[in-house]
Chains A and B, each alone.
Chain A
Amino acid sequence: MSTGIFVLAMSIVISAFFIWTSNNGRKADRERDWGK
């Protein structure tokens, strides 16, 4: 049970982190491109 909870918690943390970074990257790209 505890292993399952740990796996799920880790996957939530990893997913949230990469979604956050990809949002940051997209935002930076938009700000960089607006002069095009």
Chain B
Amino acid sequence: MKLAKVKIEYSSGTTIVDRVGLDPLTGRVYLAPRVLGLMKTMEQAECSPSFSLQYKGYVLPVAAASGEYSVSMPVEHGTGFGKILHSIAVPSKEQREQNGRYLHTLSAASIGGAAASWHAALGQGWDAFVLPGFLAVAGVLLWYAGIWSMEGE
């Protein structure tokens, strides 16, 4: 049995935050009689609430069926190498922001390189301007990818 935080939000703005017992194997949620009483009282004057449970960083919707409450437990992404790969392939908001900054650093380096190679190419024929051109395009592309990664809400 684990302890988890639940949040019951009503459309009027009333929010109940409490701790409950959670069976991680079955997903069964055990509410204290005090919370059940509050919910019963609120039912008389409110629409059905948004009922969520926080567990290991996940926000899980709580389903009610015949007086019992339960959540579907999130799928764990293994341990060790698999977990590292998952954190790279599915980054959090903060990691996406860092990725965006990294891309903008690469973009700045490309633009700087384009400017330097442009000056080096002067007086050496048109072929010498291919590299600064490609570097400039790479800079714009990386800048756009950075913006995409950092996109706000």
Chain A residues near B (Cβ < 8 Å): 1, 3-5, 7-8, 10-12, 14-16, 18-19, 21-22, 24-26, 28-29, 32-36
Contact = CB atoms under 8 A, between A and B. Distances in A.
Contacts of A4: 130-131, 133-135
Interface residues of B, number: 38
A10 B138 CA distance: 9
Interface of B: 50, 52-53, 58-62, 88-93, 95-96, 99-100, 103, 106, 110, 127, 130-131, 133-135, 137-139, 141-142, 144-146, 148-149, 151
B96 A22 contact: yes
Main secondary structure of the interface of A (DSSP, over half): helix
A25 B110 contact: no
Given A14-B145, A15-B142, A29-B93, A22 B99 contact: yes
Nearest to B52: A35
A29 B58 CA distance: 9
A7 B111 CA distance: 12
Contact of A3 (B131, B141, B142, B149): B131
A7 B131 contact: yes
A15 B31 CA distance: 47
Contact of B130 (A1, A12, A19): A1
A22 B110 CA distance: 22
A8 B53 CA distance: 46
16 contacts: A4-B135, A7-B110, A11-B141, A14-B103, A14-B106, A15-B141, A16-B145, A18-B145, A18-B148, A18-B149, A19-B149, A21-B91, A22-B96, A35-B61, A35-B62, A36-B52
B103 A15 contact: yes
A15 B149 CA distance: 10
